[in-house]
Amino acid sequence: MHGQIVSAAPVGMQGMPGLVILHAGMVKKKWALNSAFMTLYAFAAVMPCWVLWAYNVSFGHCLIPLWGKAGLAVS
């Protein structure tokens, strides 16, 4: 189980550079750095939520079909 969360974390983080480039390309040049930091802040807010609740909803014990019980992934 811990190997799966270690493998899932880098896969989740590899989307960040793509979103930074996408969002920076959609705004004016002077706002590109601000847009990049907003994407970074969004990922910084999502990653703890993934570790604390969403991992077990995806890969934990089933509550109903295709939906798991929320809980800590690091327990």
Structural domains counted in the chain: 1
Q: Please indicate, yes or no, if residue 75 is contained in any of the structural domains.
A: no
Per the CB < 8 A criterion, the answer to whether 33 and 40 are in contact is no
Q: Please indicate, yes or no, if residue 27 is contained in any of the structural domains.
A: yes
Ranges in the chain, pLDDT < 70? 1-2, 5, 60, 66, 70, 73-75
Residue-number span of the structural domain to which 10 is assigned: 2-68
Q: Please indicate, yes or no, if residue 73 is contained in any of the structural domains.
A: no
Spatial CA neighbour of 1 closest among 61, 47, 44: 61
Q: Please indicate, yes or no, if residue 74 is contained in any of the structural domains.
A: no
Distance of alpha carbon 27 from alpha carbon 23, whole angstroms: 7
